[in-house]
Amino acid sequence: MTIEKTLRSIVAVRSSIPDDAFTAGTLGNRREGSGVVIRDDGLVLTIGYIITEAEEVWLTRHDGTVVPAHPLAYDQETGFGLVQALGALDLPAVALGDASTVQVGDEAVLAAGDGEAVETTVVARQEFAGYWEYLLEDAIFTAPAHPSWGGAAFIGLDGKLLGIGSLRLQMSQGEEVADINMIVPIDLLPPILDDLVNRGRVNKPPRPWLGAFSAESNGEVVVMSVSEGGPAARAGLRQGDIISDVRDGEVDGLSDFYRKLWASGPAGAEIPMRVVRDGRETWLRVKTADRDSFLRKPQLQ
């Protein structure tokens, strides 16, 4: 499949989320992005935050044809989301490539469902820790940035799908700052695809979740905010707290914090955490949770 043929199998994704949904306040009630047809039956791969807790999803082809769809699954660990078209998309499936071969300096295309395609270059491959308790060990970063990055298709020059666009970030280049995109590598999908299609989630225990939005500053993990009603909020974690220890282990940056959190027990376990607040140390006990238990489950339309 050539790049031109692949572009025809990219669709716009639009979702509607109820006002009382857990993520409505942070991600909004109306979300738009892109998706890629990966099976001939109309299975579409996107980035999961576009469809989380959606009650309605619509797919739009480049010719303007609109097809209703069902939000099938959202994998918290990878960030991938799956949507099943409920009508005929009549678009061929895009072949999956091998993202492990992607190197810094490689040229590719990042394309969205609005028809805009950007010729882009891989500028980095490295670990990425997101403030929403998210970690990718080997993310792909590209420049220039696509203005409609959410769910955009990262396509190799052979037309194969190499990843899905997730974020727009900034990277320092000397005295200049450049906008870049973070891409979730497609290699993370095949091991979990059947579970997501058949079960709606990966068949393994969920990671423990705090409901804390955190950032790294000079190696310290600083709480920016907490989810209302989430485990962190109930335990008394506050904006501005510095998380210094999880159980008996000192925290060394955001990635290390997540790894210690996820290794500290199953979702639902109570975890002691040492925090520094206004220059004083205190210990909190946080009863973690399964993030999915706070989210509305997809209802077949």
| Mean pLDDT for the stretch of residues 214-222 | 95
Residue 36: name the closest of 70, 53, 13, 55 by CA. Answer: 13
- Cα–chain-centroid distance for residue 88? 27
Measured from the Cβ of residue 248, the count of other Cβ atoms closer than 10 Å reads: 8
**Encoding tokens for residue 237?**
């974690």
- Cα–chain-centroid distance for residue 44? 15
Among 156, 188, 220, residue at a domain's last position? 188
pLDDT (0 to 100) of residue 1: 67
Is residue 72, in this structure, part of any structural domain at all?
yes
Q: pLDDT digit string (tens) for 219-238?
A: 999 999 999 999 999 999 99
What CATH number is associated with residue 28? 2.40.10.10
In terms of Cβ atoms closer than 10 Å to its own Cβ (0-12, 13-18, 19+), residue 63 is: exposed
| Average pLDDT in the chain | 95
Q: Which domain holds residue 265?
A: 208-294
Among 176, 199, 222, residue at a domain's last position? 199
Among 131, 164, 199, residue at a domain's last position? 199
7 neighbors 117 (Cβ within 8 angstroms): yes
Is residue 259, in this structure, part of any structural domain at all?
yes
Longest dimension (CA), the chain: 62
**Encoding tokens for residue 290?**
């399964």
Are residues 148 and 172 part of one domain?
yes
What CATH number is associated with residue 256? 2.30.42.10
Token match 């799908």: residue?
A: 161
Q: pLDDT digit string (tens) for 37-82?
A: 999 999 999 999 999 999 999 999 999 999 999 999 999 999 999 9
| Mean pLDDT for the stretch of residues 5-34 | 95
pLDDT of 299 above 70: no
35 neighbors 151 (Cβ within 8 angstroms): yes
Q: In this structure, what are the phi and psi dihedrals at residue 215, rounded to the nearest 5 degrees?
A: -130, 160
Residue 102: name the closest of 51, 174, 161, 20 by CA. Answer: 161
Is residue 300, in this structure, part of any structural domain at all?
no
Q: pLDDT digit string (tens) for 172-190?
A: 777 788 899 999 999 999 9
Distances (CA, A) of 94 to 45, 180, 182, 200, 231: 10, 24, 21, 22, 40
pLDDT of 301 above 50: no
Percent of the chain with pLDDT strictly greater than 70: 99
Is residue 169, in this structure, part of any structural domain at all?
yes
Residue 232: name the closest of 171, 189, 297, 287 by CA. Answer: 287
Are residues 78 and 16 part of one domain?
yes
More confident residue, 215 or 300: 215
Are residues 80 and 27 part of one domain?
yes
| Number of domains present in the structure of the chain | 3
Is residue 299, in this structure, part of any structural domain at all?
no
Is residue 117, in this structure, part of any structural domain at all?
yes
Q: pLDDT digit string (tens) for 84-101?
A: 999 999 999 999 999 999
Is residue 301, in this structure, part of any structural domain at all?
no
Is residue 55, in this structure, part of any structural domain at all?
yes
